[in-house]
Amino acid sequence: MLRRHRAAAQGRARVTIEHYALFLLFAMLLYSAVGIPSFDRDLVVDSDYISPLNRWIWLAFLLAAMPVLQQRWRRALPILRAAWPLLLLFSYFALSTAWALDPEASIRRLLFSLVQLALLVILLAGIRQARLMHIVLAAACCIVALADLATWAVMPGFAMTDEGFAGLQSQKNQTGLLMMYGCLATGTACFLIRGKWQRIGVAGATLLMGVLLVATRSTTSLTVVLMTPVLVPALLLLARLTNRAMAAALGALASAMAMLAFLYFAWCAVRGLDPFLPLRGVTFTGRTDIWDFVCEEIARRPWLGAGYGSFWAIDPAVQPSLQRAAWYSLYAIINEGHDGYLDLLATGGVIGLGLGLFVVFRAIGLAFATLRRSVGQPGPDRATAVFHIALLFGLLVHNTMESNLFSNTGLLAVALMLCVLDLERRRISSFEDRENEVRTRTG
């Protein structure tokens, strides 16, 4: 009888800790998405790093997660060890503060990222059900979308800028990112909800975020969402193939793309045409000027870069972008290179870019492995694996025109770290399940 009561008490404690961790994750995602709203669009500053209140809020989140760490530290340590590629990347970022253009800004931004990393490890250690984590992600996105919609209704002149719908966020591209992430999260969460009306509600939330995404006029984010219905079925079909068949399919696809490129260049040569004529004069909304500038700065320090977070919006005395007065004045008008790969190369050099891409492509491999394990077994693992792989591919595409690859502390930076850590946790769980299965058979 005593053992039964003790087991029941432990079960209730596990549920309580999990619910508490889910609540903290929900609150953290909401704050990452909205932050401290500023209702003065004429003053554009890098508030994530300037506001002292922002720092204290993140430290408060970490402090609030200590009860979860106290109960689940044995689960947190394996997750941390399994995420060694991510730790290696941030170790290099920490090393880069030694040669950063602005060491103070570099260290400050690194500490923000490390606080977020530690917080996510602790919360994932306290969450046992992947289905609940996925639903919390989708719910947070829905709340942000409703808040943006309410802002549009109450303050239409503030929410709708000349460039597009911005809602509560500082500018429309940030809102586009949020709506993109929300569409991916809620779209895949439909497969986790069993009730008819709940599914209708989730589908309605996805539609709302799709409408708001169109209103932002964020072309890159919209492209990611539109390509997902094509990408996901292709990946699901690929996951059903054997290793040989999958290699053959990928080889055939690569060969077809190479053949098309060859035929195009051959046709241009026969006709005496410039093959790059369609791209000449295209500025991608003024991005090419920024890219040229960033490439000039990369050439100055190609291997090690300018230091983590030490390129945009730093001390004016060493700020390289002040060479272009059209971009900067007293406040940061453009605080990114509008290309995640160039920004990572500018701050981390060739080494930082290589480590960052290794983390992302390893995560894609883990997501695809999870997808393959779920073939024939629809459920939480399958839906969340689809969400992770769609997000990772979406980020690869998105960072060709925007910058959020290990370079900021916004929602997408948190989402990327959460994705990587969750996939590493799933790899550990699958390995433990195989070991338990072997023990059961041999026992």
Nearest to 108 by CA among 247, 332, 314: 314
- pLDDT of 191: 84
Domain positions in the chain: 129-217
For residues 278 and 261, give the distance between their C-alpha atoms in angstroms, rounded to a whole number. 15
pLDDT at 356: 96
**311 neighbors 323 (Cβ within 8 angstroms):** no
Burial class from Cβ neighbours inside 10 Å (0-12, 13-18, 19+) for residue 10 reads: exposed
207-242 pLDDT, tens digit per residue, is 999 999 999 999 989 999 999 988 888 888 888 888
3-state SS of 410-435?
CHHHHHHHHHHHHHHHHHHHHHHHHH
Identify the burial level of 436 via C-beta atoms within 10 angstroms of its C-beta, where 0-12 means exposed, 13-18 middle and 19 or more buried. exposed
Low-confidence ranges of the chain (pLDDT < 50): 2, 5, 8-9, 44-49, 325-332
pLDDT for 163 equals 86
Q: State the pLDDT at residue 322.
A: 59
Q: Which amino acid is at 285?
A: T
The pLDDT, as a whole number, for residue 47 is 38
102 touches 310 (CB < 8 A): yes
Q: What is the pLDDT of residue 428?
A: 87
pLDDT given at position 88: 97
**What pLDDT score was predicted for residue 326?**
47
In the chain, what is the straight-line distance between the N-terminal and C-terminal CA atoms, in Å? 29
**CA 314 to each of CA 72, 90, 100, 103: distance values in angstroms, whole numbers, following the listed order:** 38, 20, 10, 9
The reported pLDDT for the residue numbered 331 is 39
CB atoms within 10 A of CB 115: 16
CA distance 32 to 418: 13
Percentage above 70 pLDDT, the chain: 86
Q: What is the per-residue pLDDT for 241? A: 85
| Tens-digit pLDDT profile for residues 359-368 | 999 999 999 9
CA pair distance 397, 145, nearest whole angstrom: 23
Is the pTM higher than 0.85? The answer reads yes
Residues 334/45, Cβ–Cβ less than 8 Å: no
